[in-house]
Chains A and B, each alone.
Chain A
């Protein structure tokens, strides 16, 4: 950016002053890791988005597309950040064919409003992502964050069937389509999932929708030891029962959930009070299917080393299921200075988890572990302040977790940390060729680097 360029004024010339905000107090709410943009733009049409991208390209400014900003601190600290492109003004349902179970919706559409809309037709989108109350379609896809229903419905890559977006040259592009089966052309929309706004501005996403299940059920049981919980997990996996979600919570997580639910006056299952490892199973379907799965999970729990377990009351299940969808949110704000990592292994073994817990234990801070199905772990540690010692300890644990992931051929992503920890976090160990391939994709979508560089792991 040139020193003399008055970004808000020039932007106002390009798309009109009504769309541009430059008040410092508002700019502050769009800051990322302390980086404040020079202007906020709120386009209401695809054409306006294109104008902004072309302007930024000409002026060599860096754009970050944003939705409700609920998860915009995901990713590495950008190298540059000049224009916040607030996409919440594009929020139409462009196409919905309930008979075909396909949907095409603007990026700024809030997930909650979409859910209400689809519910009227007995359908839903299995995008059960954190910050659900405020999250937008585009932000959720761009963040690539896990859906709590992943076990049953897969991730976004399994039900996003197409997308429209503005690439780094300011051109309107599309990929995929509106049909559920399609191999026409490259699956570019898959690249947008989890791209954190670095490849293009997503303007519209096409989904396949799903019928709402008739009913759902939940089961919870407790274990004195982690190893017992993992044995139970294995038994459930081997049963072949189709679960919507399965999670193991360490005693500290159970305590956190209990505290939050109690404060909110919501139903708290007594299992959460036992300061033990908890295993939660969620399942859905028709009444007969739900009762069959419930019975089998109960049997598995009875055959395990843990407490007998219990089918949750509907209110308890809604409360606990909702909390686990939101775990990213309350884990990252679990203390004044916390670090939250997502780790993925082929298998979440006792040895790995023990090592993680020892790593956290060495700092004296409380730590949280959530083991999800499919080898996904959430791991957080909670410091009480951003003191130098605390930051150093967070750094040690974060780097240790990343090293552990590398050693075990897994992956670790730092989802949240104080900005200094984030900046110094061990960068992902892409091999030079893997890094080069990532960079080539970025250069193909965004040849002049108009979308915030440095935000994707590896400094892309």
Chain B
């Protein structure tokens, strides 16, 4: 590898490799070798070389993922795309940008915002996570409620297959004849191919934005408001919920102006034409008032807007102050079941002796229950895992899914059978094998490996700032 890439682009000392043993989850998997390619051709050569020695290969962006997708579960070669970080082309007219996978999510927006354009997927790690990682995980974020997740904003991909072949799927304008391979590869968590170039669609910034904070006495009222907003067909750009306990922790740390004595707040954003924004904001206010909101505040300017969002975006950092460790679950439920889901989560927490906080994308039913625990206490750890499994099971029972945006990875692969049958797995496996027949790429992810339970792992305190 050193002769292929040069000494400075290869890490093989244990103390260096240790840094790549973690991602944003607390799964672990140490690579035997970390390499930093600069070009697609280098990626192809690395993959071929690794194949010669039968070493598995895993791709990694910034390592902010929350399901262990970018960890070397089976050791082997880790390809870090950090140095493939060039924006290759920006076509403002066609609203497209062609970028290397190591480009940071927010840097795309920075490169095009002068023209009133932006890259819509906005995971909270947008300041550090990479586009390649976003593609692999089909990343979401608060504003996916109105604009969709990563897959809705990808036009084309260049990929390196496990045999080193370089292929392209999709096209600059979007679709291609034949099967929608781009749709298959986005969200395949690095288990089918390595992404070496991404053509993203750029969205046009809305002319008007309004950010509202709806304050409720109880979480039941707040969740009922979400149900009503959804059922009335109002589509805010974002609709986030913080329960009373969580917002107090956040407020103490961030001072975003969330009222400490409330039961829950909804952070809502509406975007679009000025007229539409006014109407939607009024409609939301009406629904919230009907659901007994104590108050609905509207951010007066960008500063206030920024402050309201700062609370949401730094919430996980704030939680790090109150418990040795916390772990964030990622489940999805039908939005009409939100009150029931929160009730069940509370009950599950009580049963296992935890307080479970809730801070999540309420508008699309994407829950992030947070269990606070002390990892030094083996009993607590066990109970936390049991509670987590029960919550995910409850999501599935209510008609939901295992993960809304964090991915399956090695965190939930053993839970996949809650949703999928043997026949489903057989087909998914055949699709996997069609591209990655020897599991050379990212082995041990998505599919159950029958390792038993305890797969929902724990999020560490030091992950402050890297979250949903």
The chain A residues found within 8 Å of chain B, CB to CB, are: 97-102, 122-123, 154-155, 157-158, 167, 169, 171-175, 177-188, 190-191, 193-195, 199, 210-212, 240-242, 285-286, 288-289, 292-293, 344-347, 374-375, 409-411, 413, 428, 430, 433-434, 437-438, 440-445, 447, 456-458, 460
Tell me, rounded to whole Å, the shortest Cβ–Cβ distance linking A210 to chain B: 7
Bound: A457/B179 CA distance, A = 9
The residue in chain A whose Cβ has the minimal distance to the Cβ of B330 is A183
Residues on B lying within 8 angstroms of A by beta carbon are: 91, 93-94, 96, 116, 137-138, 140, 144, 148-149, 151-152, 165, 167-169, 171-181, 183-184, 186-188, 204-207, 227, 230-235, 272-276, 279, 332-337, 361, 364-366, 399-408, 412, 416, 419-421, 423-424, 426-428, 430-435, 446
Report which residue of B399, B405, B412 has the largest number of chain A beta carbons within 10 angstroms of its beta carbon. Answer: B399
A409 to B181, CA, bound (A): 18
Inside 8 A of B434's CB, which chain A residues have their CB?
A: 440-441, 443-444
Q: Is the CB of A410 within 8 A of B180?
A: no
A285:B416 contact, CB within 8 angstroms: no
> Is A99 within 8 A of B435, CB to CB?
no
Query: Other CB < 8 Å A-B pairs besides A177-B401, A182-B404, A184-B419, 14 of them?
Result: A98-B231, A177-B419, A179-B332, A179-B400, A181-B364, A187-B187, A188-B431, A210-B233, A289-B273, A345-B173, A437-B435, A444-B434, A445-B431, A447-B430
9 nearest A-B pairs in the assembled complex, by CB-CB distance? A211-B233, A190-B183, A99-B336, A171-B423, A440-B434, A444-B430, A100-B334, A99-B231, A288-B275
Q: How far is the CA of A188 from the CA of B205 in the complex (A)?
A: 31
A289 to B337, CA, bound (A): 32
Residues of B within 8 A of A444 (CB): 427, 430-431, 433-434
Chain B positions within 8 Å of A285 at CB level: 276
Given contacts A172-B423, A428-B178, contact A183 B148 (CB under 8 A): no
User: Which chain A residues lie closer than 8 Å to B408 at the CB level?
Assistant: 183-185
> Does the CB pair B419–A183 fall under 8 Å?
no
Q: Is A242 touching B435 in the complex (CB atoms < 8 A)?
A: no
Q: Which residues of B contact A288 (CB under 8 A)?
A: 275-276, 279
Choose from A185, A188, A458 the contact partner of B178 (Cβ within 8 Å): A458
Contacts of B173 in A (CB 8 A): 344-346, 374-375, 410-411
Closest to B274 in A: A292
In the complex the two chains form, is A409's CB within 8 Å of B334's CB?
no
Shortest distance between the CB of B440 and any CB in chain A (Å): 16
Distance, CA A410 to CA B173, complexed state (A): 8
Q: Given A100-B335, A173-B423, A181-B365, is A187 in contact with B151 using a C-beta cutoff of 8 Å?
A: yes
Which of B91, B180, B276, B424 has most A Cβ within 10 Å?
B180
* Least CB separation from B175: chain A residue: A344
26 contacts between A and B (CB under 8 A): A100-B230, A157-B180, A172-B423, A173-B421, A177-B332, A179-B332, A182-B403, A186-B432, A186-B446, A187-B183, A187-B186, A191-B179, A194-B179, A194-B180, A240-B207, A242-B273, A374-B174, A375-B173, A428-B178, A430-B178, A437-B169, A438-B178, A441-B434, A442-B179, A444-B430, A445-B427
A183 & B167 in contact (Cβ 8 Å cutoff): no
- The reply to whether B177 and A411 form a contact with Cβ atoms under 8 Å apart is yes
From known contacts A180-B365, A460-B178, infer whether A186 and B335 are also in contact, taking CB-CB under 8 Å.
no
Set of chain A residues within 8 Å of B232, measured between Cβ atoms: 211
Question: Which residues of B sit under 8 angstroms from A179, Cβ to Cβ?
Answer: 332-334, 364-365, 399-401, 404
CB distance from B441 to the nearest CB of A (A): 14
Instruction: Report the Cα distance A242→B86, complex, angstroms.
Output: 31
Q: How far is the CB of A363 from chain B (nearest CB, A)?
A: 25
Q: How far is the CA of A210 from the CA of B446 in the complex (A)?
A: 31
| Minimum C-beta distance from B137 to chain A (A) | 7
| A435 to chain B: closest residue by CB | B178
Asked if B172 and A409 sit within 8 Å, CB to CB, the answer is: yes
- A100–B365 contact, CB under 8 A? yes
Cβ-closest chain B residue relative to A293: B273
Q: Which partner residue on chain A sits nearest B446 by CB separation?
A: A185
Contact residue among A174, A178, A411, A430 (Cβ-Cβ distance under 8 Å from B399)? A178
Known: A101-B230, A293-B273. A183 touches B171 (CB 8 A): no
Q: How many Å lie between the Cα of A154 and that of B184 in the bound state? A: 18
A180 to B405, CA, bound (A): 11
Contact between A180 and B364 (Cβ–Cβ < 8 Å)? yes
